[in-house]
């Protein structure tokens, strides 16, 4: 009788330990958050050779994650190429995407947005010794580079330079190499991204911004379609970031070295 009671107690203890271990394991999982960012955009979203993450989007992502209740150590950044952002959100690969992600009607058919959190303008980056491109129409018969999945180059072809020879690469770094090697004549995307590249030490004096405001690009945080609860929480975090001065601090830290003339923080408009 005593043996049976001891065995029962031991079995109960084993079950308790097993349940505790399971609970701990699942709690550890739920404490993590995966966020999509760019890995190759200096000043915006960059993974450095030593494995650190820097840039304005990264600062925004960390601030929002903190407001959602996550510690910095629990953030897992995932690379979000332009052409894969909607897929990553739809599949649930990430909780949200902060990756120079312009809000537009076409994208809103597949995902929802919170924000916006930055107003940028499309511009051109050219070689510093090239004075032949002063206007977007000057790109006719020239080679124009942008990344696959970006709307920037298509905007130029549709609205300004229909005869431009469009070259699409997988990342902006490839476009930049092509620009430096004279394989392309101009790189087009948002001015904050271009300023980030031009500000890198290794590129000082090589490139310049054309200074054109070809479009208004309201950056939003991409989330799963119809997730109004997360949208409201992120919007609240973004408004707090502006109000407490963290937004302005992040702008100066990431874009200041390039003398980037940023617009004021935009009002949050993406609400359901």
Whole-Å CA distances, 266 to 8, 34, 238, 254, 258: 64, 26, 10, 18, 21
Give the pLDDT score at 269: 97
What's the helix, strand, coil split of the chain in %, to 5? Answer: 45, 25, 35
Residues 6+ apart with CB under 8 A from 142: 132, 133, 161, 164, 165, 185, 186
Q: What is the pLDDT of residues 73-93, one digit of tens each?
A: 999 999 999 889 999 999 999
Print the domain residue range for 190.
121-209
Give the pLDDT score at 149: 72
The vertex-162 CA angle with 133 and 160, nearest 5°, equals: 55
Bridge partner list, 113: 222
174 in the same domain as 241: no
Strands 143-147 and 165-169: parallel
Name which residue leads in pLDDT, 90 or 41. 90
113 in the same domain as 236: yes
Confidence of residue 203 (pLDDT cuts 50, 70, 90): confident
238 in the same domain as 103: yes
Confidence of residue 46 (pLDDT cuts 50, 70, 90): very high
Task: For residue 224, give both structure tokens.
Answer: 């799963």
**Do the domain assignments include residue 172?**
yes
Largest CA distance in the chain: 97
Name which residue leads in pLDDT, 24 or 210. 210
168 in the same domain as 235: no
């Amino acid at each position: 009788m005593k043996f049976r009671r001891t065995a029962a107690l031991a079995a109960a203890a084993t079950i308790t330990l097993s349940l505790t271990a399971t609970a701990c394991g699942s709690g550890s999982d739920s404490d993590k958050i995966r966020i999509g960012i760019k890995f190759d955009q200096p000043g915006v979203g960059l993974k450095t050779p030593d494995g650190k993450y820097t840039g304005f989007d990264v600062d925004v992502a960390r601030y929002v994650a903190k407001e959602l209740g996550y510690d910095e150590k629990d953030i897992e950044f995932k690379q979000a190429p332009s052409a894969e952002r909607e897929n990553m959100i739809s599949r649930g690969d990430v909780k949200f995407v902060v990756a120079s992600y312009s809000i537009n009607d076409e994208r809103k058919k597949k995902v929802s947005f919170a924000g916006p959190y930055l107003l940028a303008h499309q511009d051109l980056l050219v070689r510093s010794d090239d004075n032949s491109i002063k206007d977007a129409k000057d790109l006719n018969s020239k080679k124009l580079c942008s990344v696959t999945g970006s709307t920037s180059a298509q905007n130029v072809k549709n609205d300004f330079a229909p005869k431009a020879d469009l070259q699409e690469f997988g990342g902006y770094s490839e476009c930049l190499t092509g620009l430096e090697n004279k394989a392309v004549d101009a790189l087009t995307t948002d001015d904050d991204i271009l300023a980030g590249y031009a500000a890198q030490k290794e590129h000082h004096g090589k490139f310049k911004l054309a200074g054109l405001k070809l479009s208004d690009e309201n950056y939003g945080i991409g989330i799963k379609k119809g997730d109004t609860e997360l949208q409201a929480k992120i919007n609240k975090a973004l408004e707090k970031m502006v109000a407490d001065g963290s937004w302005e601090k992040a702008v100066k830290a990431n874009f200041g070295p390039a003398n980037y003339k940023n617009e004021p923080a935009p009002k949050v408009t993406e609400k359901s």
